[in-house]
Structure 1
Amino acid sequence: MPALLAACGVVAPPRRSPEPTLSNLSYYRDLVEPFGLEVDETLLRSAPHVSHRDLVDRLVAAPHVRDSEPDLVIVAHALPDITPFTAMSPYLDRLLGGRAVNFGIHQQGLAAPFTALRAVSAFQRAGRSQRAVLAVLEQTTLPTPFPLVHDNHLVDSGVLLVLGTGGGPRIARVESVAATESAAARLGELTAKDPDGTLLVTGPWLDRDPLRQDIPAFHCNPGTYCTSVWLALARHWTDWRERYGTVLLCDTDPLSGGTHIAVLHSDRASDAAQGER
Structure 2
Amino acid sequence: MRLHRIGTRMFGEGRPFLSGRAHELMSSYVEDVTHLHGLPLRPGYMSTRRNSYAEMAEAMVPELGPLPAPVDVLALASAVPDADLIRSPASLLAELLPGDPFPLGVTDQGVVAPFTALKILRTYGASNCLLMVMDQQSLPYDVAGTEEMVPLRDCAAALVFTDGGAVAEGFEVRHCTEIPPERVAGLLAAELGGHTALVAGRGLAATLPNAFEHIRLAPPGLPCTGVWVALAAALPGWRGRRVAVADYDRTMRNLSICTLDTSCEAG
CA distance in 2, matches of 1:172, 1:153: 26
Cα 1:202/1:54, change in 2 over 3 Å: same
Q: Which of these residues, 230, 233, 254, is aligned with residue 258 of structure 1?
A: 254
Q: Deviations over 1:169-193 (max 9, x none)?
A: 124321122243522122112332x
The answer as to whether partners of 1:79 and 1:139 remain within 8 angstroms in 2 is yes
CA distance in 2, matches of 1:179, 1:12: 35
The answer as to whether partners of 2:71 and 2:128 remain within 8 angstroms in 1 is yes
CA distance in 1, matches of 2:123, 2:18: 42
The answer as to whether partners of 1:109 and 1:253 remain within 8 angstroms in 2 is yes
Q: Quick check: 34-43 or 12-21, which moved more?
A: 12-21
Q: Which of these residues, 128, 133, 153, is aligned with residue 131 of structure 1?
A: 128
Displacement after TM superposition at 1:239 (Å): 3.2
* Alignment pair present for 1:7 and 2:3: no
Describe how 1:1-277 pairs up with structure 2 within 5 A: 2-18=1-17, 20=19, 23=24, 24-46=26-48, 48-64=49-65, 68-84=69-85, 86-124=87-125, 129-148=126-145, 154-166=152-164, 167-181=166-180, 182-192=183-193, 195=194, 197-207=195-205, 210-213=208-211, 215-240=213-238, 242=239, 244-268=240-264, 272=265, 275-276=266-267
Q: Secondary structure at the match of 1:81?
A: coil
Q: Deviations over 1:203-260 (max 9, x none)?
A: 12212662124611111121211111011223332432x2x52111011124323121
Q: Quick check: 146-155 or 101-110, which moved more?
A: 146-155
- In structure 2, list runs of 5 or more residues that go unmatched: none
Displacement after TM superposition at 1:159 (Å): 0.6
Equivalent residue letter for 2:172: R
Structure-2-length-normalised TM-score: 0.86
Q: CA RMSD in A?
A: 2.6
Equivalent residue letter for 1:132: C
CA distance in 2, matches of 1:238, 1:65: 21
Structure with the bigger percentage of strand: 2
CA distance in 2, matches of 1:76, 1:153: 14
The answer as to whether partners of 2:197 and 2:212 remain within 8 angstroms in 1 is no
Q: Secondary structure at the match of 1:41?
A: coil
CA distance in 1, matches of 2:187, 2:78: 26
Cα 1:258/1:38, change in 2 over 3 Å: same
CA distance in 1, matches of 2:198, 2:136: 27
CA distance in 1, matches of 2:142, 2:101: 37
CA distance in 2, matches of 1:137, 1:153: 10
Q: Deviations over 1:44-87 (max 9, x none)?
A: 544x4110011112211114355652111111111111122643
What is the aligned residue count?
A: 260
Cα 1:97/1:50, change in 2 over 3 Å: same
